[in-house]
Structure 1
Amino acid sequence: MPKPADSTASPVVRALSTIDRLTEGVEKLILGGSVLFLTALLVLHVLARQLFDSGIPGQVELTQFSLVIMTFAGLGYAVRRARHIAMSAFYDQLRGRPRKALLVFICLVSGAMMMFFAWHAWGYVSSIRAVGRTSSALGIALWIPYLMAPIGFALAGIQYWLTATRNLTSRHIYRSFTELERYDDVPTEGAVETGTN
């Protein structure tokens, strides 16, 4: 899909694009590293069981930690690609400016909620670090893998706010910072007035 003409016109959009690329790099590094680690761990565990009749110690804990990390790192990625769960029955009935206004409102509120969750997740991580909780098999400090929860919520919040800003600075409707509205049957206000698509 060709990018709209206003996609790089604004200095604000260019600055936010840099932030978007940086957060995307962090997400890709975390997600890619977690997937590769989990894949290697499971393959080595199976080989060790087949060859030596003994698996990798702590494999279950490491698998659980990897899944926690991938889940929370995936929050920001899902928002970035507009692949998050959305209840859009009311939103889909709107057209033009009301539709865009509702999307901006949803993004602002969702971003605030993600930051609220990040704050409370940080409090939880801080509390388990303060008491020195560790995993039972490997003795890994639990705050280390759980630190991904506040990071993931914060990355998702940033993505929601980037989407809101993109919609406020563009004449097009964006479902995420980089993805245009994909519904071909949604006319813009100008198209409704002129009777064109």
Structure 2
Amino acid sequence: MPEPAARQAKHSNTNALIRMLSLADRLIERVEKFILGGSVLFLTGLLTLHVLGRQLLDSGVTGQVELTQFSLVIMTFAGLGYAVRRARHIAMSAFYDQLRGWPRKALLVCICITSGTLMLFLAWHAWAYVDSIRAMNRTSSALSIPLWIPYLIAPIGFVLATIQYWLTALRNLTSDKLYRSFTELERYDEVPVDDSNQE
């Protein structure tokens, strides 16, 4: 096979892989949005009903504190993957911002692979914690909800963050451009400089 044809076939295979991963990524994003949006709406409705019940009927929603805690846990860990997908996570980038070209991309890939590995490590320990809670049959005090059910979101959230970090690394390895996440290009250099205050 001639060299240009081989390069074109490789490029076509890479594009097909990226399209397939993009489709899976969009499906996961919809699930995350549904969970996050549902949790926010549930928490808003719960607190509204609780306040109205206390004011009008002198009786709030039974188990309101537990349900609020569970909702916050679900929002926190379901939001992990979403934050990485949108590159909204905390980043200490003083050294990274000084780099340009391939050293910057190499460092970004290294950061993504390392961060993804750390998320997977945390997912493993979170799963061990959830499994120990399930084995002990621990339940919430007011509603007797098995605690492993709401806490199961912790290892799932860490795994989703792992996937997003590794997808970002893959995207940067297969593209000439620099990506902050699987779908978002690096845009730090596009911040406009205001010259009006300079003399």
**Separation in 2, partners of 1:93, 1:19:** 34
What is the match of residue 90 of structure 2?
Answer: 85
**Separation in 2, partners of 1:183, 1:53:** 53
- C-alpha RMSD of matched pairs (Å): 1.4
**Number of equivalent positions:** 179
Of the candidates 5, 18, 25, which is equivalent to residue 13 of structure 1? 18
| Structure 1: 5+ residue stretches without partners | 1-5, 187-197
Shift of residue 184, structure 1, vs aligned partner: 2.2
What is the match of residue 50 of structure 1?
Answer: 55
**Separation in 2, partners of 1:140, 1:27:** 23
What is the match of residue 178 of structure 2?
Answer: 173
Shift of residue 176, structure 1, vs aligned partner: 0.4
Identity over the aligned pairs, expressed in percent? Answer: 78
Select the structure of larger CA radius of gyration. 2
Residues 1-197 of structure 1: pairs in structure 2 closer than 5 A: 10-184=15-189
| Structure 2: 5+ residue stretches without partners | 1-10, 192-199
Tell me which amino acid in the other structure corresponds to 2:149: I
- Write the deviation string for residues 21-45 of structure 1: whole angstroms up to 9, x where unpaired: 1210121111011111101101111
Secondary structure at 1:149 match in 2: helix
**Separation in 2, partners of 1:73, 1:168:** 27
**Separation in 2, partners of 1:107, 1:12:** 19
Secondary structure at 1:144 match in 2: helix
- Write the deviation string for residues 119-160 of structure 1: whole angstroms up to 9, x where unpaired: 111111011001100011111100011001001101111000
**Separation in 1, partners of 2:55, 2:123:** 42
**Structure with more contact order per residue of length (Cα contacts < 8 Å, sep ≥ 6):** 1
Tell me which amino acid in the other structure corresponds to 2:51: V
- The two structures have a TM-score, normalised by structure 1, of 0.88
- The two structures have a TM-score, normalised by structure 2, of 0.87
- Write the deviation string for residues 39-61 of structure 1: whole angstroms up to 9, x where unpaired: 11011111111111110011001
Shift of residue 104, structure 1, vs aligned partner: 0.5
